[in-house]
Amino acid sequence: MTETTAPILSVRNLVVEAVNASGPVRIVDGVSFDVHAGEVFGIVGESGSGKSITMLAVMGLLSGRTRLAGGEVKLRGKSLTDMSREELRRVRGRNVSMIFQDPMTSLNPVLRIGNQIAEILEIHQPELSRAAVRDRVIELLSLVGVPSPERRYRQYPHEFSGGMRQRAMIAMAIANNPDILIADEPTTALDVTIQAQVMELLLEVRTRNRAAMILITHDLGLVAETVDRVAVMYGGRLMEEGPVEEIFSRPAHPYTVGLMASRPRLDAAPAFLYSIPGQPPSLANRPSGCVFNPRCALQNGREICTTKLPLLDSVSTAHSAACHFSREIDGWIGEVVTADRNSMREAP
């Protein structure tokens, strides 16, 4: 839980722009959050919300048409945004490591699994002998539950199943005992039974290494089950942030509520599914005021939503939301209104 101790990772006012034919477009807009030692921090959002780009920016991995346009990222008090490429390279894989969604594209198909993990160790711990590296790799593989690691060491990625590949990626990510593990949709490409295996492993190695973890996902279920604190992103901005129990029990942003209500649940069979009307925003044509206002049911034509950008404001001690009317949320959830049939047929 949040303590007064200094955060391990601190992100302030991060702005990322994509360079388009028609000029720069803000795809991450003023994102700030802290990650504390040993906690699991979740970033949840739909595609285009900027959740993955935010973490790429944190890692200094923006490339091509995206660039960091402002803000600061501090790792244990040291600014990553001021670092040289060389210094940043040393941080990556050592202090912070990342696990991506698709293990097939993250692994080099022509190199043996063992050698790929060994490479990470050799880069950051050149003092290790070859035998020591090899032993450590085999130890890591057995740690992540890859059976017969000596044999698997010499295999190629295509000889691994999807779940096994993700295990190998996790072995790579924890090889140098990083302070923070960033997992970007680590189980989205996996089947649900394999997802359960991989999430269990990820949480276990994290606890063992006492690392903090950032879980980026679109899956509210995964967030509810694994995360300590969560941030909800939409249209490149943070909508809400707080302890997971509070976000789920007392959501303070209409987008969060809509997201939770529009997902069918295994433990309930409601007669009607709420759906957030409209389409995700075009970031090149960002709505004025609150990004969510064109789809928001709470707005009710009130002018402030279209004119004034709501800032993250605390709702309780650790919980904040970026909505002008977060106090009205409770009443809104309670209301049970007969379904407006037309609400199913959204105008595009």
Sites for other proteins among residues 177-196 (CB under 8 A)? 191-196
What is the phi/psi pair of residue 2, to 5°?
-65, 130
Q: How large is the greatest C-alpha to C-alpha distance in the chain, in angstroms?
A: 70
# residues near other proteins by CB under 8 A: 84
In the complex, minimum distance from the CB of residue 322 to other proteins, in angstroms, rounded to a whole number: 17
Compare residues 126 and 348 and give the one whose CB is closer to other proteins.
348
In the complex, minimum distance from the CB of residue 52 to other proteins, in angstroms, rounded to a whole number: 6
Compare residues 118 and 189 and give the one whose CB is closer to other proteins.
189
Site track for other proteins across 232-261, x = CB under 8 A: ------------xx--xxxx-----xxxxx
- 163 is an interface residue for other proteins by CB under 8 A: yes
- 105 is an interface residue for other proteins by CB under 8 A: no
For helices 130-143 and 162-174, give the axis angle rounded to 10 degrees: 130
- 263 is an interface residue for other proteins by CB under 8 A: yes
In the complex, minimum distance from the CB of residue 60 to other proteins, in angstroms, rounded to a whole number: 18
In the complex, minimum distance from the CB of residue 347 to other proteins, in angstroms, rounded to a whole number: 6
In the complex, minimum distance from the CB of residue 149 to other proteins, in angstroms, rounded to a whole number: 15
Compare residues 124 and 295 and give the one whose CB is closer to other proteins.
295
Which one of 80, 120, 222, 305 is in contact with other proteins (CB under 8 A)? 222
- 1 is an interface residue for other proteins by CB under 8 A: no
Which one of 262, 307, 314, 317 is in contact with other proteins (CB under 8 A)? 262
What is the phi/psi pair of residue 216, to 5°?
-100, 125
- 71 is an interface residue for other proteins by CB under 8 A: no
The residues near 324 (Cβ < 8 Å, ≥ 6 apart) are 290, 302, 304, 305, 308, 310
Which one of 46, 102, 122, 204 is in contact with other proteins (CB under 8 A)? 46
In the complex, minimum distance from the CB of residue 328 to other proteins, in angstroms, rounded to a whole number: 11
Site track for other proteins across 304-343, x = CB under 8 A: --------------------------x-xxxxxxxxxx-x
- 202 is an interface residue for other proteins by CB under 8 A: no
Near other proteins in 106-135, by CB under 8 A: none
- 53 is an interface residue for other proteins by CB under 8 A: yes
Near other proteins in 265-304, by CB under 8 A: 265-277, 279-285, 295, 297
